Structure 1
Amino acid sequence: MTGSDHFLWWRGHRGDRPRDDRWMEIGKESFQERERRITGRHHLPGPVPDWAEDLFRVARAAFIADKYVRRTGVRDRWTRRISLAVPVTEHERWGSAAVRTHLTALLQGLTGDLWNVDFRPLTGHYVEEALVSPDEPRASEVALFSGGLDSLSWAATRSRADDSRPLLLVMFREVGLLRLQQRVYRAVEQLDVVRPVLLLPMSQTPAGDGSGARLETSSRTRGLLYAAGAIRAATAHGVGTVHIPENGQLALNPPLTPARSAACSTRSVHPWTLGSLNALVTAVSDTESTVQVVNPLAQLTKGEVCKVGRDAGLTPSDLESTLSCGKPPTRRRGGPPIANCGVCFPCLVRRSGLLHANGSDGTRYEALPWADGLPLDRGADWRALQRWLLGPHTLTDVFTDTPLPADTDPAVAFDLIRRGREELSRLLQMAEATEAADAA
């Protein structure tokens, strides 16, 4: 890599070599896990169409590029120029102007970077055959399952649906958090479920790039990789919809400050992102196996999602055992074995949601956001949230950050954020009560 441009070449067959020495080779070796664990192919009951395998490969390549190109190495410490070359089976489809437009817009909207993606024909590749018997019942519904509160509430709700065919939960293993994810999944199994529930475990831990330097800490393409993995699984089961459960409050993720606008905050389940991904899938897929992604919790706040989970039979303890943190302490080198830090914005939303639904929150957090002596950087989200809650929030603010799709009513989105602000305001009251108690 030279200058401000970064070139990454996803490796194809043995004779497939980069055009020149500017290109850095990446591929399946760029992940820590073996290919079988990454793809989960042996768990799938049927074939995956070429376009879905291509989409998953493109998403994997973008994810590795996102991790290997550090933002600290560019002038503004954020905006990178990334050229990515990926081999695809459906070369003519991926090479069309429509696909390039949709993919470039999606990547740039997610990451805030300047992307150029080239495609070349994939030949001589081998796809592992499924080990699951074709006579096994195929799922009628597919959803991502992270081990978070939102995905648990949705899984619990759908596990009780009146459907004899299985619910498939696609889970991407989190390093250091696998036991938590398994424990949260058991909370679904222990319900009085009506239908079978299947779990498809996949992995996506990036390996080092050989430099010895720490990989890029932001990862705006992780959500795209997860979605592509779930889409791929859905095609093997013959399911036309993938559910990506995320409370509408965090899906919209309105910026607390001007410095957090657009890609500076995660937009992986924003209505615009899902609309862009669906447009891309429509452009590359065939009519027989096309899949669309939907957020079934898009109209609910975090507190309302918690209540949905309670209605499905989950206990407060089940909800409190989940992961919501944007920067889990257990991921940090030398960090404590705690899943939720308690001070990042997703943790603050989590706190307010559990208070709204349960009247209390017994989650074990690493820190209290309004505690005296909290390091300045760790209290940044709490201070930003205070200013945001105490200031005005208008209808214009809803769509001036990230555009809404044409089928999304701004007034509905505005009302959702209003309800979310009311839930979050309880945290201000708790902080004031704590300060008063300490003063007394």
Structure 2
Amino acid sequence: MTEAHTRLFWLSRPDAEAPPMHWQPLHDAMYWERPSRGPDRRPLFAPAPDWADDLQRVARAVFAADRYARRAKSFDHWTRRITLSVPVARPERWDRALASLTAVLETVTGDLWEVVFRPLHGKSVREGPLTFTDEDYAHDVALFSGGLDSLGWAAQQAALPFARALLLVTFEERNFEALQDQVYEAVRGLRRRPVRRLTQSQTVRKPRGSGIELELTTRSRGLLYAATAVHAAAAEHVPVVHLPENGQLALNPPLSAARAGACSTRSVHPWTLHHLNRVISEVAEPGSAIRVENPFATLTKGDVCAAAHDAGMSQRVLEATLSCGAPPDRRPAGPALAHCGLCYPCLVRRSGLLHAFGEDRTPYAADPWDPALPASRTGNWQALRRWLDTEWSMLDLVADAPLPPDTQPASLMEVVERGREELRALIAWAGKRTPRKAS
């Protein structure tokens, strides 16, 4: 059996039944997580329903399988065939949701998935006192990465004079926990309503002595984030979960043909959210389904920066957020900075802060317009410039990924065009700072 056809088996507990021959065992012990923050030990006011437990279990299994199956060993160094067996409380419901789940997985990872559901035997003890009233539960649930977009939405919601809490779901970025804490405290500092946070780890570790090398692309982590937020919302009776992402990066149009499909992140793309909501509606108890929404789908990065500032966040706090797709601290020889300055998320961040404030004082490891940089490090900058010189059409909007039937394409076209103008302004601004080569 080749790595391209890896079969992966998830176990609810390390001491559960052994997987069949040739199947790789997966379990929660693979996650680098403190026991007090395990999937069944969370600071929620009530246990989540079985369907939400199942959704989170599926997402955790998918994420672990994603890390354990190396793309480099597949036939095209990208597309993998992954078979995954997951125990769930109601297998018949998950069988009904299989087509929608497969659509989510194939959209976000670009792989070929076969998911098999088997009955869940036994349940872990779940914390959650039952003596609280509805007024104690959160009123809103949102993902909170510590980035500009999540800060913008959290600031807007924290500024509302509500008695019930805003619950923010955070996944730790290793080496940048202090930065995430700083941004979270800025939200709490608005002091208009209670703000709570649920923090998880996203780190999968290698079995000792296994020789396994983990996959680095982790395209499925957005599903893990969303499922954890849905689980929290289901426990606290919140009907909507917000995944804030500016429209530019939610659509994430490829800068070149080589970046089509899952080669560019699709975790908050409208097509992904459409099928994720279908999964939830098909597995949830009648009347208990939760909807996942992107409140910033029609905003550019510059719009988000302005909205966060209007909600009470200073430029200094906005510049303290984390947006980088490849933080330098993760590189063996990189400087101790949170932003590389060269990846596409960093470029969009630069354009948004420049649009909102006329400057961006974020310390970056490098500037893509620096003539001293080798061409091997300016690929995103050059691809961006070529993309901005190319006409953008409605056909381009739907060529890379479909849109849900209820989508208003004109509003998405408009946000892409406005985002392109912000990026063009960044290029013009950079041109004034780039030394001209001697003729």
TM-score range, shorter chain: over 0.9
Q: Structure 1 residues 375, 161: closer, same or farther in 2, change over 3 A?
A: same
Does the 8 Å CA contact 1:139/1:166 hold for their aligned counterparts? Answer: yes
Q: Report the equivalent of 1:260.
A: 259
- Residues of 1 paired with 2:35 and 2:8: CA distance? 20
* CA apart distance, 1:430: 2.3
Q: Which range moved further: 374-383 or 236-245?
A: 374-383
Deviation for aligned residue 1:62: 0.3
Per the alignment, residue 205 of structure 1 pairs with 203
RMSD: 1.7
Tell me which residue corresponds to 1:398: 397
In the TM superposition, what whole-angstrom CA distance separates every residue of 1:390-412 from its partner, at most 9, and x where no partner exists? 11111211111111111111121
Alignment of 1:267-346 (within 5 A): 267-346=266-345
Equivalent residue number for residue 18 of structure 2: 17
Does the CA contact (< 8 Å) of 1:42 and 1:132 recur in 2? no
2:119 equivalent in structure 1: 121
Deviates more, 1:361-370 or 1:212-221: 212-221
Q: 1:26-425 counterparts in 2 under 5 A?
A: 26-39=26-39, 41-96=41-96, 99-130=97-128, 134=132, 137-191=136-190, 193-210=191-208, 211-425=210-424
Residue-pair matches, total: 436
**Shift of residue 90 of structure 1?**
1.4
- The AA in structure 1 aligned to 2:55 is L
* Structure 1 CA distance for aligned equivalents of residues 137 and 41 of structure 2: 15
Equivalent-residue separation in structure 2 for 1:184 and 1:15 (angstroms) = 40
SS at match of 1:42: coil
Distance 2:211 2:33 in 1: 19
Q: Report how far residue 256 of structure 1 moved.
A: 0.5
Q: How far does the alpha carbon of each residue in 1:128-155 deviate from its partner, in whole angstroms, 9 at most, with x for none?
A: 3226963581111100000000000110
Under a length normalisation based on structure 2, what TM-score does the superposition of the two structures give? Answer: 0.96
Cα distance in 2 between the residues matched to 1:37 and 1:288: 29
CA separation of 1:429 and 1:132: change in aligned 2, threshold 3 A: farther
Q: TM-score, normalised by structure 1?
A: 0.95
1:22-48 CA-to-partner distances (Å, cap 9, x unmatched) read: 101010111111353242733010011
| Native 8 Å contact 1:39 1:203 kept in 2 | no
How many Å separate the matches in 1 of 2:405 and 2:244?
A: 21
Alignment deviations for residues 99-150 of structure 1 (CA, whole Å, 9 cap, x no partner): 1101111101111100000011111221332269635811111000000000
Deviates most, 111-120 or 424-433: 424-433
Determine the C-alpha separation between the residues in 2 that align with 1:63 and 1:337.
28
Distance 1:383 1:280 in 2: 39
Compared with structure 1, are the counterparts of its residues 368 and 133 closer, same or farther at alpha carbon in structure 2 (3 Å cutoff)? farther
Alignment partners' CA distance in 2, 1:125 and 1:218: 32
Asked whether the 8 Å contact 2:47–2:126 carries over to 1, the reply is no
The offset of 1:15, in angstroms, is 4.7
CA apart distance, 1:162: 3.1
Aligned in 2, Cα 1:143/1:132: closer, same or farther, shift over 3 Å?
farther
Separation of aligned partners in 1, 2:329 and 2:131: 38
Q: 1-side partners of 2:339 and 2:38: how far apart?
A: 25
> Between the two proteins, what is the percent identity of the paired residues?
51
Q: Distance in 1 between matches of 2:438 and 2:363?
A: 25
Q: Distance between the aligned counterparts of 1:132 and 1:374, measured in 2?
A: 59
Residues in 2 aligned to 1:325 and 1:341: alpha-carbon distance in whole angstroms: 7
Alpha-carbon spacing, 1:425–1:92, altered in 2? closer, same or farther (3 Å): same
SS of residue in 2 equivalent to 1:105: helix
CA contact (8 A) 1:144 1:151 kept: yes
User: What is the alpha-carbon distance in structure 1 between the residues aligned to residue 35 and residue 240 of structure 2?
Assistant: 26
Runs of 4 or more, structure 1, over 4 Å off, are 436-440
Give 3-state SS (helix, strand or coil) of 1:18's partner: coil
Tell me the CA shift for residue 205 of structure 1: 0.8
Amino acid at match of 1:88: V
CA contact (8 A) 2:68 2:212 kept: no
Cα pair 1:40 1:202 within 8 Å, conserved: no
Distance 1:394 1:137, change over 3 A: same
Q: How far does residue 7 in structure 1 lie from its aligned partner after superposition?
A: 0.7
CA–CA distance in structure 2, aligned partners of residues 37 and 375 of structure 1: 43
CA shift for structure 1 position 209: 4.1
Quick check: 1:169–1:200 contact (8 Å CA) kept in 2? yes
Distance 1:213 1:11, change over 3 A: closer
Gaps of 5+ in 2: none
CA distance in 2, matches of 1:3, 1:253: 29
